[in-house]
Amino acid sequence: MSSLLIRGSQVVFPDDVRTCNVLVRDGRIADTDASPDVAADEVVDAKGLHLMPGVVDDQVHFRDPGLTHKEDLATASRACAAGGVTTFLEMPNTVPPAVTCDGIRAKETLAAKKSLVNYGFYIGATPDNVDELKAASDANFPGIKIFIGSSTGNLLVDQQEALERIFAETDLPICAHCEDESTVNANRAKYADTTDVRDHSRIRDESAALIATRRSIDLSVRHQHRFHVLHVSTAAEVPLIRGQQPWITAEVCPHHLFFNVDDYQRLGTRIQMNPSIKTAADNDGLWKALLDGDVQVIATDHAPHTLDEKSVAYPKSPSGLPAVENSLALMLNQVSQDRCRLTDVASWMCDAPARVWGITGKGRIANGYDADLVLVDMALSQTILDQHQHTKSRWTPWHGVTTTGWPIATFVAGHRVWSRRDGFDVNHRGRKPLFDHARGGFWATTDGIGPR
């Protein structure tokens, strides 16, 4: 048994922010209103700071195994810790693809050896692995990932018969990359000779996203199967998502909130992403969707490549960018600019993803929850720089951007895994959470996912 007292911080609860002393015992929150003099093995004086729940990033690509020259679970989890991310859920398009239960267990074994923070891994759908997807329902995995659009290996699933089987015969929640393959291929033929990265947003256009999102929502509602729309990139998708309780939830990524097609001239392939960056009007529409509650989650789609790879002329340049260590700071900066509240950020980045995927004991500061916590200095301004990044790729599309509000210490199960002053505790390891899908997902857990 060990104990930690975080004393005098402004604690971010789901509905308000108030000064409290938070007591942690044996990795869990024991008291959110403790006496300032209660005995503890470690006391952190947090006066003037804010205490938030740890971020749950439900969409990352950490490249381990198979592409570890770009990233691996050790470097990625350090980037998570420095960014206030205490739990990540990783996508299956590694090498080899994680499309079997044994493949997921192999990744869990890697993470148990390498990761500073908590971890979970989606099982990938293929046109012919429904039996594996069915077996996964008993394996404590977060969910199933479908690529309804281009991917690596055999992960593309765009035939209607295969999609119907997946939605009809499996039990785990499903998420998908929604871009219609036929539309993308037809557009690509129109721009076959292009070397202009701006054409990436014309090839992967609004129609490609709309067609695939509409198709996925139809499958979900007809089969009454919980479905999470990943990385919504267009304002036009929002009306499709709105009001589809209890089956549909959705998320948006920082790059689709903060970048648009006008930024290609300045940033080039650094912002080449799938789905592509869209327009300034889409930025505004996605912000409105967040604030109105039509989109519930912010996640990063952290997908690093080396800067040399990204510097190759389009279209040979790969899509993807690193984001886990800057996503929280980018959103805290929006709080400092009065665009949203700290409680909004905690909802979008912590509570909502935990509820979507049934991650028990995560996402809130409440008695009995896991002590996955982030201390934040809302007065701290800092410039994001390539050379300061902890991700193995060592670059960021936000290079040179100054933001206000930064994590200064991150705790996983009450253990300080990183602080601005002392750096990383590289000897700590995160754990696989419990994914309790029987609790019903986001729409069934308005009071939080609850402890184990």
Is 128 in the active site? no
Three-point CA angle 309, 311, 313, nearest 5°: 105
In one letter, which amino acid is 266?
R
Q: So what's the pLDDT on residue 17?
A: 98
Q: What is the rounded end-to-end Cα distance, in angstroms, of the chain?
A: 18
Q: So what's the pLDDT on residue 158?
A: 86
Outline where DSSP puts E strands in 226-285.
Answer: 227-229, 248-252
Q: So what's the pLDDT on residue 1?
A: 66
Q: Rounded distance, CA 260 to CA 405, Å?
A: 24
The dihedrals phi and psi of 407, each to the nearest 5 degrees, come to -65, 140
Catalytic residue among 301, 351, 370, 377: 301
The conformation of residue 38, written as its DSSP 8-state character, comes to -
For 196, 223, 238, 251, 258, the CA distances from 248, given in Å and listed in that order, are 36, 12, 11, 11, 24
The owner of tokens 């067609």 is 211
Q: Is the pTM of this model over 0.95?
A: yes
Q: Is the peptide bond before 127 cis (omega within 30 degrees of 0)?
A: no
Per-residue pLDDT of the chain (452 residues; tens, 9 = 90+): 699 999 999 999 999 999 999 999 999 999 999 999 999 999 999 999 999 999 999 999 999 999 999 999 999 999 999 999 999 999 999 999 999 999 999 999 999 999 999 999 999 999 999 999 999 999 999 999 999 876 556 788 989 999 999 999 999 999 999 999 999 999 999 999 999 999 999 999 999 999 999 999 999 999 999 999 999 999 999 999 999 999 999 999 999 999 999 999 999 999 999 999 999 999 999 999 999 999 999 999 999 999 999 999 999 999 999 999 999 999 999 999 999 999 999 999 999 999 999 999 999 999 999 999 999 999 999 999 999 999 999 999 999 999 999 999 999 999 999 999 999 999 999 999 999 999 999 999 999 999 99
Q: So what's the pLDDT on residue 156?
A: 87
Quote the radius of gyration of the chain (alpha carbons, Å): 21
Q: Name which CATH class applies to 54-364.
A: alpha beta
| Total residues belonging to the chain | 452
Quick check: 215 and 180 in contact, CB under 8 A?
yes
